[in-house]
């Protein structure tokens, strides 16, 4: 094995995505969007960032789009993950393959050129992600985030923020000061063991209540659960968000589920959780179609 091949081998404890997800019983409404998913590599075409904290298995666009079709979904929003750093090439390539059926959320450097920003926009990017998880980025570069937020304003992009709810007491002033639309990843990563009345989730709800600029993703029951499948303990959190903020909540699979530790979910089962979060057809339409289309395809589709 060459040194370059060894350098891109997945971490020995990295869990690969489910090899054969089940066909869900739930069928989404026409036009449904998976508003949070990723592509990784293939690493021989799109190398991982040298500074990455983990090395995943390849998770190419062709596999993602096959899942989209299996689950009866219509579109994807592909979020740049830290393993590719600020090189958004794999994401842009996936969007190009999908045509108008995909959009992207990028990770960028504050000194990015105006030409490169426009190239990302023309390639389908509609947002930028700020990661605050210490295990992935160390101490979040707040000054860099401020400069990036200033750069993207003219493009009308939104900001996606990824944090642990326990850290929100410290982060809330910074997050509130961000301009424009701000989308909270993965329900704000609450401590599910503390219940929906726990302090961390209460801070997330307070943020959502404070300003209609804030949106949230009802995603990742497999990542948040304490009890494990079928993730009954996460249902009250998802339902509270969907019913409390029906016009500002979106859903996604998080495929291929990077850095899962305890188990790898069956994505078909995750799709079947949608009606548990959104129990009525009206709420499902907003969660899966109306809201993500308003955020990522405001110009409509052909």
- For 181-235, how does the pLDDT look when each residue is reduced to its tens digit (9 = 90+)? 999 999 999 999 999 999 999 999 999 999 999 999 999 999 999 999 999 999 9
Catalytic residue among 34, 254, 267, 290: 254
For residue 127, the surrounding DSSP H or E stretch is strand 125-131
pLDDT of residue 9: 80
Q: How far is CA 189 from CA 22, 29, 165, 200, 201, in A?
A: 26, 27, 5, 9, 8
How many Å separate Cα 283 from the centre of its chain? 20
Whether residue 181 contacts residue 156, with contact meaning beta carbons closer than 8 Å, is answered with: no
Domain 30-296 in CATH: superfamily?
Metal-dependent hydrolases (3.20.20.140)
For the chain, residues with pLDDT lower than 50 are 1-6
Q: Is 254 a catalytic residue?
A: yes
The DSSP 8-state label assigned to residue 40 in this structure reads B
Domains of the chain, by residue range, sit at 30-296
Tens-place pLDDT, residues 152-173:
989 999 999 999 999 999 999 9
């Amino acid at each position: 094995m060459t040194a370059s091949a060894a350098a891109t081998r997945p971490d020995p404890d990295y869990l690969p995505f489910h090899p054969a997800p089940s066909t869900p019983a739930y069928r989404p409404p026409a036009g449904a969007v998976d508003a949070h998913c990723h592509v990784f590599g293939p690493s021989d075409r799109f190398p991982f960032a040298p500074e990455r904290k983990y090395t995943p298995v390849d998770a190419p666009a062709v596999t993602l789009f096959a899942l989209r079709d299996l689950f009866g979904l219509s579109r994807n929003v592909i979020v740049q993950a830290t393993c590719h750093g600020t090189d958004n090439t794999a994401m842009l390539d996936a969007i190009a393959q999908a045509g108008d059926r995909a959009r992207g959320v990028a990770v960028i450097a504050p000194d990015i050129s105006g030409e490169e920003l426009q190239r990302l926009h023309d390639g389908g990017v509609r947002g930028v992600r700020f990661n605050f998880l210490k295990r992935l980025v160390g101490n979040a570069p707040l000054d860099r985030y401020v400069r990036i937020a200033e750069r993207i304003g003219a493009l009308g992009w939104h900001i996606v923020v990824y944090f642990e709810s326990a850290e929100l007491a410290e982060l809330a002033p910074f997050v509130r000061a961000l301009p424009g639309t701000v989308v909270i990843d993965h329900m704000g990563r609450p401590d599910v063991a503390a219940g929906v009345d726990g302090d961390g989730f209460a801070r997330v709800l307070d943020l959502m209540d404070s300003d209609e600029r804030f949106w949230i993703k009802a995603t990742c029951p497999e990542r948040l659960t304490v009890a494990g499948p079928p993730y009954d303990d996460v249902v009250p959190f998802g339902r509270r968000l969907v019913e409390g903020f029906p016009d500002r909540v979106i859903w996604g699979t998080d495929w291929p589920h990077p850095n899962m530790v305890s188990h790898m979910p069956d994505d078909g089962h995750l799709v079947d959780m949608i009606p548990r979060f959104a129990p009525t057809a009206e709420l499902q339409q907003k969660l899966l179609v109306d809201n993500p289309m308003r955020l990522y395809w405001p110009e409509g589709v052909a």
